Structure 1
Amino acid sequence: MKNGMNPEASQQARASYAAQIVRLAGVENSRIEEAFAEVAREAFLPDPPWTVISMGSALVTSNLADIYDNVLVALDAQRGINNGEPALHAAWIDAVGPQPGETVIHVGAGTGYYTAILACLVEPRGRIEAFEYEADLAAKAQRNLQPCPSVTVHATSAFGRVLPNADVIYVNAGVVAPDVEWLRALNPGGRLIFPWQPQKGWGPAVLVTRRAGGFSARSLMNVGFISCSGVAEKPSIKNLPSEADLAAVRSIWIRSEREPDASAVAVYNDVWFSSEEVS
């Protein structure tokens, strides 16, 4: 192992960590706890010493126990890229509920840690299509995920391209508006979660579900994510939403299928958000 810790000790650390993470996230799904306990976080990080970030403070450490906590771990400090907060991801994964045999598209896979956790949850017979725009991170993800035959890593942006049909689309990069192709790729009953950041650097996580009458949407907790790379241009905004508007969202529509009406909360080139429930 990278840190010289024996496998048994690492497994014990992961079990305690997984229990802590699902408790903090308010998650009761035992499969999610098992997935966090199964995947070795250190296998997806740079060699130690690691920079661990918690509550705005940074700690440089080579102690494996320090990364098995609800902390960020830097992947590239200069670019502001980190491994992500485990409890937030546990909550998001619980919200989209990946099931065995499903197809997941992971946008912004980084070096693959949460991709590997998603892969555990769709086994057996499920598959993960992981997209990472940053070439160096994609190469590391490709290497790190070799033990996961269900995962295919794409070293490119998942924005502005036709995607394979999917049951879950899990987006780990902030966007001013979701790509219309993400909506089109969802199977009936499919779930999309993404950080909607119409204001600079912050906004709600939005959970979208494809229903018979359209795409239902709900704003969840506020988050801050690095902006999605590979976006050719920012969509024009006819209606910049307020914080109250963000909370009022109940559906999202493709403009070529339905033009905005009086229920519109925010309007973009290809999609618009509505306060109206999906019928």
Structure 2
Amino acid sequence: MKAGFDPETSRQARASYASRILRLAGIDDPRIEEAFASVPREAFLPPPPWTVISMGVGGRTSEIAEIYENVLVAIAPARGINNGEPALHAAWIAAVGPQPGETVIHVGAGTGYYTAILARLVEPGGRVEAYEYEADLASLAAANLERYANVTVHSASAFGRVLPNADIVYVNAGVVAPDVEWLRALNPCGRLIFPWQPHKGWGPAMLVTRQARGFAARSLMTVGFISCSGTSERASVRNLPTEAELAAVRSVWIRRDRAPDTSAVAVYDDVWFSSEETA
């Protein structure tokens, strides 16, 4: 808890906040609700007054109750970096279903708020490997997460590097295409969630699950995220997918494992998306 806030006031605000966030997300999961209720959001934010953003409109506040709503809170405004919308993250976390003992790779950890929630959900026995490209944010995340013994913060990009094996890869930065190493890192039945943004600034949140014969994929919702730093993938113009094609994706493949065929929706250097099931 950062200085200046009454712990009991924060605890009460978090309890009602957690239940509201899950209702907004359409989620009924006591474990996720408890995780949101247990992690103090203000401990992962810059000092007040905070800039909160709701429905595209921003305002300044020092009232702790106002950060316990479904609002974005600015972290680095000049870079367009914020703390993320809680209901969206609740929905994503429910989609990947972190379980005790699992390993999570968190790509784009920011200052660590959702990293802490993920860390709570994989206890006991689980770990979170958190990657943050922006060095100042990584330093803040390491300090903020110091009490979480099952978290390691890496001040580095998680794009273009071999990663440890994981049950979940949770990506909080938009990409033109997923890094092939995110797919390779997944254990059997492992889950990857990421914002696929082949069109600038928007695209579907994709849930990918490793199966015996490939990677099943489906679109969850349309989102807009700040782009992942350090990426280099580009789509060929002829394969730039339409909105309907984005929604039609049912699998993603590593090109070394299977060459693109007539079911291809989008083809990249190392991976491609298909409208066919993995079968």
Normalised by the length of structure 2, the TM-score is: 0.98
Q: Where do 4+ consecutive residues of structure 1 move more than 6 Å?
A: none
SS in 2 for 1:78: helix
Deviations 1:65-110 (A, max 9, x none): 0000000000011111000000000000000000000000000000
Match of 2:37 in 1: 37
Match of 1:17 in 2: 17
**TM-aligned CA deviation for residue 213 of structure 1:** 1.2
Deviations 1:222-267 (A, max 9, x none): 0000000022x23342500000000000000000010001110100
CA distance in 2, matches of 1:5, 1:138: 24
Matches within 5 A, 1:77-226: 77-226=77-226
Match of 2:227 in 1: 227
**TM-aligned CA deviation for residue 6 of structure 1:** 1.4
CA distance in 2, matches of 1:2, 1:216: 42
Which structure 2 residue ranges, 5 or more long, are not aligned? none
CA distance in 1, matches of 2:270, 2:2: 46
Which structure 1 residue ranges, 5 or more long, are not aligned? none
CA distance in 2, matches of 1:265, 1:4: 52
CA distance in 2, matches of 1:220, 1:3: 39
**TM-aligned CA deviation for residue 59 of structure 1:** 1.1
CA distance in 1, matches of 2:3, 2:83: 17
Deviations 1:163-209 (A, max 9, x none): 00000000000000000000000000000000000000000000000
SS in 1 for 2:219: strand
SS in 2 for 1:152: strand
CA distance in 2, matches of 1:267, 1:104: 27
Q: Which amino acid aligns with 2:174?
A: G
Q: Which amino acid aligns with 2:234?
A: P
| 8 Å CA contact 1:3, 1:48 repeated in 2 | no
CA distance in 2, matches of 1:70, 1:103: 27
**TM-aligned CA deviation for residue 3 of structure 1:** 6.0
CA distance in 2, matches of 1:228, 1:270: 17
Match of 1:28 in 2: 28
Match of 2:60 in 1: 60
Count of residues paired in the alignment:
278
| 8 Å CA contact 2:198, 2:235 repeated in 1 | no
Q: What is the aligned-residue RMSD (CA, Å)?
A: 0.8
SS in 1 for 2:188: strand
Match of 2:278 in 1: 278
| 8 Å CA contact 1:104, 1:128 repeated in 2 | yes
Normalised by the length of structure 1, the TM-score is: 0.98
Instruction: Tell me the percent identity.
Output: 75
CA distance in 2, matches of 1:242, 1:107: 26
SS in 2 for 1:247: helix
Q: Which amino acid aligns with 2:129?
A: E
**TM-aligned CA deviation for residue 9 of structure 1:** 1.3
CA distance in 2, matches of 1:37, 1:54: 21
| 8 Å CA contact 1:3, 1:64 repeated in 2 | no
| 8 Å CA contact 2:103, 2:122 repeated in 1 | yes
Match of 1:74 in 2: 74
Q: Which amino acid aligns with 1:220?
A: L
Match of 2:46 in 1: 46
SS in 1 for 2:177: coil
**TM-aligned CA deviation for residue 19 of structure 1:** 0.4
